[in-house]
Homo-oligomer: A and B are copies of this chain.
Amino acid sequence: MVIFYWISWGNSMINAGSITGSKSSGVPWKPCYAERMRGVQASEIRELLKIVEQPGMISFAGGIPDPTFFPTEQIKAAYNAILSDSTEASKALQYSVSEGDAELRSWIAGHMRSKGILCDVEHILITNGSQQALEFLGKLFISPGDRVAVTAPTYLGALQAFSPSQPEYATLHISEDGSVALEGGDTDSEDIHDALVYVVPDFANPTGETLSEVERRGILELAAERGMLVIEDSPYEMLRFDGIPELPLQALDIDGSGGIDASRVVYCGSFSKVFVPGLRVGWVCASREIISRLTLIKQSSDLSSPAINQRVMLHLARTIYDEQVVRACSTYRKKRDVMLSLIGEVMPADSRWTHPDGGMFIWVKLASEIDTRELLEVAARDFGVAFVPGQAFYVNNKGRDMLRLSYTLPSTDEIEIGLQRLGKAILAMS
């Protein structure tokens, strides 16, 4: 047998310039980042929000689920069951396929069908929460300079997920009559490729509002006219407290296009708001063609999502999904009601706010000159209450007189106290 050193197997070396006298000693290295990272910066507002971690703070800031109704006992039982079965344990702790656990994907396909989206297991990819799906879709569909249409305001995390792909953002204006238009991002230019439309149609982050069917159809028509992909980001959809569910854009488009494999809509879903966010399990539902591309991206990005967490989600989904939805909705409905019943007492006269039928957020426009970033500093530092300033949800520095309140994490008592504190902070700045 011959021992050999692979690395010395010689091909002729084209540029074998000797490496001499270039020791790195003492010379600090300055990293040189890729062009695409220019758009990726620490958010000033996320820095401000570090103040939220102070003891005694009442936070309306993050869209954070209430841990008091996490199904902890069922989760513990699921881990125990999986890890007590040696065959299942070996699989759950091993590398697994990039597309995700087949049984979980199958459950999700059934869940999607119940929303009117005709699909099967091969139309589902598991991701680390829906955030990862957004990042993958940006990578797959956005070339530098492509146009991406978002509502104003929109979900901050979507902008962060897309920005490394270097889009130009245009604002999506949606009228109640279903007419939809784009503004900005040089919308008349034919040189710019229209890549995608991004919407959160149900209980949107940050506004809490839900698009009507006519508005949904308007978005689909705009997308069809311009040849765009539509990303339907719907993590809050199950958290409906009032009214009747709207059909997903994907269901409407499938009806028009003849099937999911011909559809331009990609649906992003999540277990984070119904069960728990800490297992990081979300999904994408799309045409087989798109799912196969996203699976390659998943493989190159992190091989797969944790197998064991997917198995736990499967246990929960099969056993307690519906009751958990009911529990979440009933808790959050009470909290929303408390916030809506008191908010008028603390906001400046003529301020306006949304009345969401579900989800986690109320969006406020202050009738006042107060800059809500400055308000946050005062409110958090001097009064012990936090929220997210509106500017975080705009690409163009708008929203300075707006703010987002989340009612899901604090108790109803804390909501009452927190709003009183917010009122005092507003008075202090007026």
Contacts and interface: CB of A to CB of B under 8 A. Distances in A.
Interface of A: 1-8, 10-20, 22-29, 31-37, 40-42, 62, 64-65, 67, 70, 72, 75-76, 79-80, 83-84, 86, 89-90, 92-96, 127-129, 131-132, 135, 139-143, 146, 151, 153, 157, 160-161, 163-165, 171, 173-176, 179-184, 187-188, 193, 195, 207, 209, 211, 215, 218, 220-225, 227, 229, 253, 256-258, 261-264, 272, 276-280, 287, 289-290, 292-293, 296-297, 299-309, 344, 350, 352-355, 363, 365
A171 B23 CA distance: 22
A85 to B, nearest CB: 10
Contacts of A207: 6-7
A303 B224 contact: no
A257 B28 contact: yes
A215 B24 CA distance: 15
A105 B223 CA distance: 45
Nearest to A28: B262
A32 B93 contact: no
A216 to B, nearest CB: 12
Contacts of A3: 354-355
Given A3-B355, A35-B143, 7 more contacts: A22-B224, A24-B224, A24-B257, A32-B227, A40-B293, A40-B296, A62-B95
B28 A160 contact: no
Copies per complex of this chain = 2
Nearest to A95: B277
A170 to B, nearest CB: 9
20 contacts: A6-B354, A7-B175, A11-B171, A14-B187, A15-B183, A19-B221, A24-B223, A27-B257, A29-B224, A34-B165, A41-B296, A64-B94, A67-B94, A70-B89, A72-B90, A72-B93, A76-B84, A135-B301, A161-B300, A280-B303
Q: Which interface residue of A4, A222, A306 has the most chain B CB atoms within 10 A? A: A306
A293 B301 CA distance: 17
Nearest to A272: B95
A293 B164 CA distance: 12
A304 B257 CA distance: 36
Contacts of A164: 139, 297, 300
B257 A29 contact: yes
A308 B279 contact: yes
Given A13-B181, A131-B301, A306-B306, A24 B264 contact: yes
A-B pairs with lowest CB-CB distance, top 4? A28-B262, A160-B300, A24-B224, A128-B302
B89 A83 contact: no
A162 to B, nearest CB: 9
A117 to B, nearest CB: 15
Contacts of A127: 302
Nearest to A133: B302
